């Protein structure tokens, strides 16, 4: 009986800690660049990223508070160049995007424009959290 309880408690702790480890490592290895609330009336929004945030080579999106279909993102760099990245993903509340690799090496981001569809079953406005990795 003691062995069974030990195995059961170990399994519970492992499952609980693995979910927290994922969240914690996500927050510590990625820098939050900003949040944008998707409007039901618009099909695009622009997130202004501070030049002081530094240069990044990868982005990741995390959607909260509602569902959202993201078609693409356009990243405008401080030097005037831009990247058009096709996302084509239906995000459920709480979902993450794949890692979005930026062209070139680490680059300073000026703006990120989101193109999305607001025609979904969600009654809440979704928030798009953007994280960058150096």
pLDDT, averaged per 10 consecutive residues of the chain (134 residues), comes to 52 43 57 86 82 84 88 90 89 90 84 80 80 90
Distance of alpha carbon 108 from alpha carbon 78, whole angstroms: 6
With 0.95 as the threshold, say if the pTM is over it. Answer: no
Q: Terminus-to-terminus CA distance in the chain, angstroms?
A: 50
Q: Out of 3.40.50.1370, 3.40.50.10190, 3.30.70.3270, 2.60.120.1380, select the CATH number for domain 33-133.
A: 2.60.120.1380
Per the CB < 8 A criterion, the answer to whether 35 and 68 are in contact is: no
Per the CB < 8 A criterion, the answer to whether 48 and 57 are in contact is: no
Residue ranges per structural domain of the chain: 33-133
């Amino acid at each position: 009986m003691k062995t069974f309880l030990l195995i059961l408690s170990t399994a519970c702790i492992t499952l609980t800690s693995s979910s927290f480890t994922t969240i914690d490592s996500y927050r510590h290895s990625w820098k939050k660049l900003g949040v944008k609330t998707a409007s039901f009336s618009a099909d695009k929004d622009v997130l202004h990223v501070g030049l002081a945030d530094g240069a990044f080579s990868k982005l990741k999106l995390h959607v909260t508070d509602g569902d959202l279909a993201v078609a693409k993102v356009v990243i405008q760099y401080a030097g005037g160049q831009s990247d058009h990245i096709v996302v084509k993903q239906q995000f459920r509340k709480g979902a993450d995007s794949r890692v979005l690799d930026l062209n070139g090496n680490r680059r300073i981001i000026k703006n990120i424009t989101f193109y999305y569809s607001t025609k979904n079953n969600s009654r809440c406005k979704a928030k798009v959290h953007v994280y960058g990795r150096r």
